Structure 1
Amino acid sequence: MTLIEISSAEELKTFIQKNTVCVVTFSAHWCGPCKQSKPQLEELAKASPVPISIVHESDIGDYLHTFKVTAFPSYVLFVKETEVQRIKGVNLKGVKDMIEAHADRADPAIPKAGGNTLGGSHSAAEARALRLAKLEAGAPKAAAAATTTSTEKAEDDDDDNKATPMETEESKPAASDTGKTDDTKMEDATTEEDKKNPIDDLDKEAIKTLTESMGFSLLRAQKGLLFSTGGTVESAVEWLMEHQDDTDIDEDIPEGSLGSARSYKCNDCGKILSNMANLELHANKTGHSDFEESTCIIVPLTPEEKAAKILEIKSLLASKRSEREEAEKVDQTEQEKRRRFMGKEMVKTKEVMEREARKREATARKREKTEIKRERDRIRAELAKDKAERIANKGKLLGKLGVDGYAPSAIQYNTSGGKDDGDEEEPAAQRPKTAGSTASAANIDDYITKVSSYRAGGDGGKSLKILKLLVGNAADNPNEDKYKKINMETNAYKNKVRPFVGAKKILLAVGFAPDEKDKTHLVLKEDADAELLLSTKVKLEQALAKF
C-alpha cells in the first residue's frame, strides 16, 4: 500500500467508512516534524497491512474538531469507524506497534482460530506473522527516524520565558565509532536517549505541591506535569481534570510517551512557544510558518524575574511616553506657527478687501458727482436756450405749461392723461409753427431727436429701446401677425412710450394706426412701407447707441 493523501472532509469520512481498520495521520503544513517524518511514514505505509492516510488541518477546516486533535502529527487508528488508539507526536515505532496490535482485525475473511485462509495455504496465525514480518522489514528506517526526530535541541530565544529542555542533543560520535554501521550508531543513540528519563527533570516543588497540598498521587502528578502544556502546577491540574475519567489514568506512564512534545519551536527565529494559541499569535504577528514540536518546558518567571521584567517594561513605557511628549511639543510648535501665519494672511486679506471696497466707493462717488455735474450743465444749457427763445419771441415761449408749471419744450412730457401726443390736434395757440399735428415719415428724424432729448434718468434711452423693439419686430417678421399689433395698455407702453412727446408719432409715421374696433391697440397698415420700417429701425439703433 501507499500513503493516501486526503484533501477534504468528505474524503476523510469515506476513507474511515470504507476501511474496517485504518490509520489517519493528522498533520499541518507549518509543522516541521510532520514534514521531516513524512518520508518514513510513506515507507511504513508501503509495508502496512492496513491503509494509512494523511490529512492536513487546513484541508478539513472545522471538521478537525470532531477528532479533538491537540497536537501535530497525531496518528489515530479506527476500527469500524470507531477510534481505538491514538499516538501524539512523531513516534513511528509506536504507530507500527499500534498497527500490529490490530492488524488481525483488518481482514474479516481470516478466521480467528486455526485453519487455512480462503484461496491460500497459510493458517490465520501464519498469515498474521507474515504480515508483521513484512511490516517490520519495511519500517526499520521509519522507527529509527522516529527515535531521531524525538530528540530536539532547545534554544532560549524568548525574553519573557525560560525553556528547560527535556532531552539533550546527542553527543557527536567519537573517533572510535568511525567504523560502526548506521544501524549500530542508531542503536547507540537510542540507548543513550533511553538513559535520559524526562521524569527526572520535572519540577520537584510542583510535584510536592500536587501530591502534598492537592492530594494527587505521585503517578498522576507526574503525568500531569509531563503531558500538560507548560509543565506548571496550573496546567497539570487542568490536564488531570480533563483526563480524570480516562481508563489508563492510574496505569504506568508508557515508555514511548516520555519524550512527547511539551511546547512548540519556531524554526525561523528559534522562539519557544508554550501552546497552540501562542503559536498562532506568533505566526500572525511575524509571518513565520516553519514550526516544530519541542520537548522543552516553558518555566514561568520567578518573582524576581517578574519584578525585573516589570521594571524593564516601565522603563520602556517611560521612554516611549517621553518620545511622544517631545513629538507632541514639536507638533504644537508647528501648529502655533501655522496659526500665526494664517492669522497674518487673514489680516492682509482683510486689508486688501477693505482697500478695494474704498476704491469702489470712491469710484461710485466720483461717477455720481460726474452725473450731477453733467445734469447741471444740461439744465443750464436748457435755461440759456429758453432765455434766448424768450428774447427772440418778446418774452414768450412756444412750449407747454405742465401741471407743475413751467416745462421747457426740450424736456416736455405728455400730461394728457391716457391720450398720446398723436391722438388729437393741439390747440393752435400751443402748437409749434414748424410742426404739423399729424405724424409724417419725413419728420421721423425730428421725432427721434425729440425722444433722445429726455436725458434725465435715462428715460429717452429706455423709450428708444422699446421703439426699436416694436419697429424691429414688425420689420424683421412681416408675416407674423403678433408683431403687427401693439397693445397700448401694457406697462411698457404706458411707462416708456406714452409719456414722451414724439414716441407715438414714430410708430404712426412707419405705418401703425389706431385699431377701429379696439382703441387700445395700434395695428400695422396693410400698405405699410417695409423699407421705411427697416430704415427707421436702423435710425433707432443709431440713436440708442449715441444716447
Structure 2
Amino acid sequence: MAQSLVCNDCGLQLKSVKEATDHNEATGHADFAESVEKVLNMVCEECGKPCRNKTQQDLHSKHTGHTKFVDKTDEVALMDTEAQMRDARAEQNALPESSKGDDAAATDAPLVEPKVSEELLQQLQEMGFSKNKAIRALHFSGTDSLEQAITWIMEHEADPDLDEPLLVPEVKEKPKLSAEEARKQAEEALRKAKQKREKEERELEKVRESEQRRATKELMAAQRLEDEQRLKRSLDERMRAKQEESRARDKIRLKLEEDRKERRRKLGLPEELSEAEKEAERARLAQSAKAKPTIGLPVKPISLLAQMREILVDMKKTNAGKEEQLKTCWSTMLKYIGNIAKDPKEDKFRKIRVSNAAFQSRVASMSGALKFLELIGFHKEDDSLVMPAEKATTETLNAAGGELNNACTNPFFGVL
C-alpha cells in the first residue's frame, strides 16, 4: 500500500489526498502518483511542531530556540488513497452551499443528477439495485469499480436516504488550457517554488553564519584564557625560582656562618666576634673599598640569565615579521643545547659546522643567534662553532634551555 503521494510536476512529497488537493489549488499541479516512500516526520519535543526536512528543522530552531526532535516517521499509518478520496468527496458534498466555493455561490449553480458511468449503472440495475442506489454508490465510491460500488451499498444499507434521488451542484468544466498557457502556468509554479527554496537557503545560510560567528568568539575567548593561564604559570615559575634562589643563598650564608664559628671554636675563640674584632673587620672593608675606587656611578653586574633573555628579546624586536623563522631558529638552538645536556662529554654535540646549509638557513640567518651561542660558551674555531667541555656546565645549559623554551612557547615573551 502507498506511503505517500508525489507531485510529478515539482517532486514535492505529500502525506494525504487533502494535502495533494491543497497543493493543486496553490500551484495548479495535477499530476500525482502514489509512492512507497514515507514522508519524514520530525516532531519538536517542546512544542509538537512536525518538520518534514532538515531545512524546516533548522528554521524552526532558529525562530524558537527548540533543538530536540523525535523521529515519528514510522508512526504514520499507511495511506488508503481511495478511502481518502471518498471522504474528500463526501465532505465536499456535505458542506453548505455557501462553503462549496466562490464559483458556486456566485453563479448559484443548479442542482443536477451527478454524472456516472452508464455501463456500470446499467449493470447495477440488472443486478436488482434501484437507479438511485446505483447512482449514489457510483458517485460516493468515486471509482469505476463495480465491486466497490456494491460494497458501498452494503455498508450504507441503513442510510434513510439511500434510495432517494441524488442531486449535486452542477460543476462547469474549466476550459482546457492551451499548450502555451499550460507552459506559462508551469513556469510560474516553478518560479515560485525556486523563490521559496532560495528564501529557505538564505535563512539557513544566516543561521550557519551566526553559528560560525558564535563558534569563533568562543574559540577566541578560550585562546585568551589559555594565554592568560600560560602567562600566570610563567610568572609563578619565575616567582618560585626566585624563592628557591633566595632559600639557597640563605642556606649558604648559614653554612658559611656555621663554618666560621667552627673555626673559631677550634682556635679556642668565642663563636661571636668581639667588639674590637668587629671594628677591625669594618676598618678592613673600608680600606679595601678605598683601594678599588669606582669611576662614575656604580653599575650593577648583569647575570648570565639576564644577558640571555636580553639577547632573545632583541632578536624578537630585530626580526619582527619573521615569527615562524625565529621560532625555527630558537627550536634548533634548543635542540643543540638538549643534545649537549644529554651527553656533555660527546665532542660531536659540542661542535656545529658553520658551513652547514641547515645551520645557515635556520640559525645564522637570524640576527642575534650567533651572539647567543657565543654567550653560552661557543667560540669560532676554523669552520665550526665549538663549546669546550669545561663550558658545558649543567647550570648554563639549563638556563639557556629554559630561556629558549620560554621564548618559543610564551606569546607574551618580550612584551612585558
- TM-score, length basis structure 1: 0.22
Larger Rg over CA atoms = 1
- TM-score, length basis structure 2: 0.28
